Structure 1
């Protein structure tokens, strides 16, 4: 599959279709908006595709979220100024389905309350300049649309990186354990 790490965590392992990560402290992906800082040191395990490729990525995420902004899910990335991350984010003691879209160096953030499921299923589909993001709560949950976002269409010479991401931005964190199961990325033709 030719996956590689961007900001490899100190502790991680793979067993079959399961990837287990313990996030490093003070890691995040964010650009400027509202918080007036930039971080590009979160963990991202990805494959590269042609920049104009349509594709669908799915994964099941389970985490032991304990600290403000603990997070994990899927990521699509062109470079440090153009990326999308989606998944679970821990805010005020609760899990939220979360999406951050960063285009031209500016991040936005949207959340949907969820019932702290044991597993959050994610499905992200990219077609041309649009990314359709869906989530499902629990093993048997039905997928619901969370976001339809603009994402720049690049030429074939610029790779699109797609995979799993996780981070622990909190000031008082020691990181947390997160498990990704059944990561699947399919090129759509």
Structure 2
């Protein structure tokens, strides 16, 4: 299944169309349509589970994600410090959000998602072959569900997570990054689109 198969228009979003949740050190638009973001050190999104702390100071460039729509973010995975991370953040409020993307953890790049409803729930799987390549993460909102998919380059989409999201919830979404353990993380975002939700959960 092509995850963007549905009626409606897919639109490339400009980096100026979002609002920063916790502005980064620097966000530099490039002439080729890319955005280079430098994260502040010791930033993250997490709530309590296992680690015992709450962090809500990661960087997210967010725009509306109404019910019945989907959003994609593309970026280059070229980071290599513990818990370096980038991808797509879907946010209702500080206690209800989903982040999905690539995180460097325990010596390898991992594809995963954190679903937070008061407490954070993390799932991940190693994808070392994705390092140094362009990854796209997609969140599709339909009914009471948020379907999260990802792919590298133009390979097939992989289902990452199916999470609950109330149909009447007011949500925003967009590119995010965090640098929990170091200074100087820079992430190169290459695309940001908004369009219709996926036509179906399965092919």
Residue in 1 that maps onto 2:137: 122
Structure 1 position 119, deviation (Å)? 1.7
User: Mind listing any 5+ residue stretches in structure 1 that lack a counterpart?
Assistant: none
Match of 2:86 among 69, 72, 85: 72
> Size of the alignment, in residue pairs?
180
Q: Distance in 1 between matches of 2:47 and 2:165?
A: 16
Q: Distance in 2 between matches of 1:174 and 1:49?
A: 31
Residue in 1 that maps onto 2:176: 165
Please list the CA deviations of residues 131-166 of structure 1 after superposition, one character each: whole Å capped at 9, or x if unmatched.
Answer: 1111112x22111111111123335xxx31111110
Structure 1 position 128, deviation (Å)? 2.0
Deviant stretches of 4+, over 3 Å: none
Please list the CA deviations of residues 2-30 of structure 1 after superposition, one character each: whole Å capped at 9, or x if unmatched.
Answer: 31101000111112531110111000000
Instruction: Summarize the alignment of residues 25-104 of structure 1 with structure 2, pairs less than 5 Å apart.
Output: 25-50=41-66, 53-103=67-117
Q: Distance in 1 between matches of 2:196 and 2:171?
A: 12
Q: Distance in 1 between matches of 2:167 and 2:44?
A: 24
Residue in 1 that maps onto 2:8: none
Q: Distance in 2 between matches of 1:114 and 1:14?
A: 28
- TM-score scaled to structure 1, two decimals? 0.88
Structure 1 position 187, deviation (Å)? 4.6
Please list the CA deviations of residues 95-137 of structure 1 after superposition, one character each: whole Å capped at 9, or x if unmatched.
Answer: 011100001x111000021134212121211112211111112
Larger strand share, 1 or 2: 1
Q: Distance in 2 between matches of 1:101 and 1:89?
A: 15
Q: Distance in 1 between matches of 2:83 and 2:134?
A: 17
Match of 2:192 among 180, 183, 189: 183
Q: Distance in 2 between matches of 1:145 and 1:46?
A: 23
The 3 A distance-change label for structure 1 pair 32 and 153 is: farther
Contact 2:65 2:71 in 1 (8 A): no
- TM-score scaled to structure 2, two decimals? 0.83
User: What is the RMSD of the two structures over their aligned residues, measured on CA atoms?
Assistant: 1.7
Residue in 2 that maps onto 1:18: 34
